[in-house]
Amino acid sequence: MTGTRIRWSDAPETVEVIGWVGTMASHVFTIWPPEEDGENGGEYLLTGRLPDHHGTRFYGTRDELKAEAEDWLERFVSSLGAVFLGRARRVDRVPAERSPRRAGPVGRRTGRVP
């Protein structure tokens, strides 16, 4: 990654972190802290408001989730035909174990929000 394209709020580890993109007034990404009851395995949770990612969950550390959010943003932008300069890898890959019609994120535990 050549740099971040998401502006993250500076929040303590016990509070959600908000991510903004470009000049949009509304945030696009949220990283939620681990739940006190341990329901999410003590890991942080990434959610996003991009088309085809609404309701998608991705678990990991804060740093892993910030990198994953960058990847979600890059895939969305490339789906519109745009590219980020300085980024040479292809972003239209779909692992064999996932349907080419509905490629969600790859994570330790993923699922759709009810």
> Shortest CA distance to 65 belongs to which of 25, 107, 28?
107
pLDDT, position 49: 87
What stretches of the chain adopt beta strand conformation (E)? Answer: 6-8, 17-21, 29-32, 44-48, 56-60, 110-112
Query: Which regions in the chain score pLDDT beneath 70?
Result: 1-3, 53-54, 83-114
pLDDT, position 9: 92
Q: What is the C-alpha to C-alpha distance for residues 67 and 29, in angstroms, rounded to an integer? A: 12
pLDDT, position 101: 39
pLDDT per position as a tens digit, 90-102: 444 444 343 333 3
